[in-house]
Chain A
């Protein structure tokens, strides 16, 4: 029976370990989505294992039964819509088959991914495989081998998104607990089973020391990372082959849009202050074209704003109705949070670019907005951690212009604003078909086009007039030459006036190309050199408004001054908050340290309080208290005391470990106890004092014992408990 119970415990441990390994996928799918399928798979496996124990004839069929039970559990939780009253249909089989590739689709998504079966099906399937292998290996290879499948599943989960900090620690502890369930020997051998329970401390002490060593070891190794490498993730590797055929860049369409200004592009409705809508962010320039090589991912359930952003975040929402957008780009915002669309939407999270192969007609977008003040913006440094691509062979005159434009100042946000002001004051915006630029031979209206080096040079040194395309491209080039990380964004300016139905219509003439610079702690911040150059410009809400206030605070060109160099990281006063995970790990360390500290401090304190309480009593109670005191003291020193031990018995027993003074003290206490308990005369204070003088004598005698014995006696918990 004992062996049977142990096997059951081991099997449950193996199944629980597999479930925990599946739980490691929570950063990818979120706990709520994963909980039900994992629980059902584990329970199904438990039920099968239990049935096999009940009917041993089933044991040869156990692997098959486990697979069938687990798959049925997955079908009933994740694929219920494909079934007919819970019964699998061919559609269920197809969904299961396509679920085998869900691991790949998940890698192509942002995380947390949408909790849809076609994405998360592989997790319960992996857990099921780990359960089957674990239960079968338990009988064949042994306990440790049975843990390997779940360990492998945990490894797979980490290649998706590694658990960190407190979450990792809690999971490690839970996994270690299941491993202990599995590894504990089948026959629990108790050498002391016939002893009274109170004495049966050794197994408890052993278990406690193992558990605390495990907890401390885990805490130390999680908290101390010797190499500090970022977690390796498959997502970066896997997602690069997604969408392979990029459509034409919206940047090439800017001039064309300006020629047909009134065409409606899209409409939107929102309560938030929106100044622009972006189509695509481009950060690579090869001298001719602006592109981006950043990967596109399936839009998951929700995007996080990014750890580097330290401003308070708000969420804004808008409904968008697409009318006339040729390319599959969808109007978006810099920090998209979630998209609710009828079709699958891809996202490039860094640029905030949305993309849909099969474009939905309407969708609603939620995005993060930051609360940034102009002062904060103006005194921020640029984000040097952002890597932008090299510009290649820069024409020499452009490089010279770059340093001239900012006066050789260090790269800060003020410098970025100064550069914007430079472009706006020295160059002229063309915001539509221009009579001066009319191509008389073709009889067509034209606007300046192009964004390669020749066109930029013509803009910078020749005509000195261009559309927002040239302004933004020239700005990005000049900013990067000055060490300011900048990128090019193509999109639309949001019109201020909305229609009667509450929607706002965006037309072709709203097309805008603008530069964005990476600001430390704030992220990519949009500027508008072209808008600044236009005479009758209107300042939109949102980020434009903040930028405008910052522009107003910007000193005139001659008074610009380099701010003091930023302090090195690690110096105090930087204002950086401790990362949340580290903080919680420290909490864990405190929690772990609490029991030993409580023991070291608490036991002596409690003992002193007990002595005080005994000493404060009156009459014979005080004498009996003195007896209890010496009894507990000597018991702490290892003298055996039973219920029938008298004071004189104790004196004899104490003589073996302590000196004569202790024995004399005990005899004094014995005399007082005799007087208190047997004498017809009421106990007076003299007897009480005698008794406690005896206690002091015993204490003095015990102080002569070896220091190790005294430390043991001071920290002995049992003498405290038995009082």
Chain B
């Protein structure tokens, strides 16, 4: 078995399983299927048709693409907003004839004609927008009707103006340049479309109204509830679509200069196919310009390729229709199942072997031997608090603790019977420390590092750090700040337990047992935040060591305590202080005798230790059974141990029956007593430490006795 074990170890060291889930969780993975489809199309037609990609052909194709792309972008804006615009084809034809009338018949200048054209098609868009946006008509039927009506208008205009249009040729270099000219070797219409694509991309992805469009398409009711002007936003998408169809039609007019009855026929189905094929959701809320470009290229390659292969034009439409059907069904399936796939593949356990578990039997002579010292602790705030992960006391004996409601609660000393909500932060406070000025620095789960002044004012210190170049998940945002301590010079070192999970999913991180944690340093003097240490298996408690140049760091899933030097001759070095703990270390704090208190939040179980060496077992477990049934670290029993910087265990405090403290996540010594917190507990314990200095406070010890 040793051989297979070694194989499993190496396999999980070198194959980065977690990458699959991280990539799938990115929004841009939506584009992977269309991109793959595009490559397939390009390859297939390139192989089937000789000279399919010759320079001349590419220029013609690019010119077509410019016009087509504008239509697709207009349509996808409407689709992103949750609607659909079938009238783009007719509108395109309208723009063509209006542009030609203005240039050829009326002899207007190019700019006037362009503006006139855009106004005409924009007006059609406005009608659509008013009907769909303000009068709440169905987008599909409404635009179907405008399609027919605009087509009728175009036919009427054709009857009247087709002869004069073909009889005259506008005398304008600019008009010719728009139709045939190139810019840097690229057709003018392509350049225009590219520029507009960039502008629209920025509009949709970086601007407030652009976000409003996606919000309205994603959930109309929610968008309304948060105050987005839904009707105006919807109306605006149709106007934009109309205007873009106008520009496209004008470019088309300049290129071909002729008005025919079949202009823009079938363009709507082509544009719709392109938009959906690119991955823009028909349901709204999901789409981008990049997707539109992908879809437009695919559709153009296919239509041109089929024509070149000698198919009749009916066959092309048939083919496009079939692709549209396929794309719509894939769209629905993907949208429905993507998060299911993601939830199945995101958890990617890895191999980990823990050192042997020390005995905890009462008569074993082990330093961790079970006892009942915590059975008769005094209880503070029973049923008044929920989830005091960390507790801290000030010089006036007032006790502060976090709660899962996002508050910091203050119990007034010396008896701690009376309490008040000291500050409301909004996230679960997980770790606390006093700085020199007497502010409480707090790590807040899901929010970052915050400071609470002695008056109870809350201030954000930091919630982001430097982005590491090789991380796929965005690790710039601090999601799971866990515990902190303040260095003598005021720098704050805090741990982020995991970059892959939020604080409520701590146990999933444990099932994974991957080094996802890190230590971050925030310097309040200049406001900078840098990640200083990575690859920790759940980075947890932090405490400054006695030399002022290093800190103690609990690596929870590895069951060990590390010491990291941030200053001095050993700066950057990491050493193991305690290894092979019988449980999972959570918080670490100073004791009055120069040693350290360490909370073990839960105990190792033999079966979980074995499962850590079986990543495949844990992966299948995560996929097959619901989370409530997963094998978890046993955090229904905890204890407190005292150790020194050399790694000797000096004392262990247990609550054997688990009556008062089924779990212990933190402890804080203050004036001869130990105050004990637990993240899922409803009380704080107060234990009298035999022989401890009755005047010792951590604040004096850190910052000196003066105020």
Same complex for A and B? Answer no
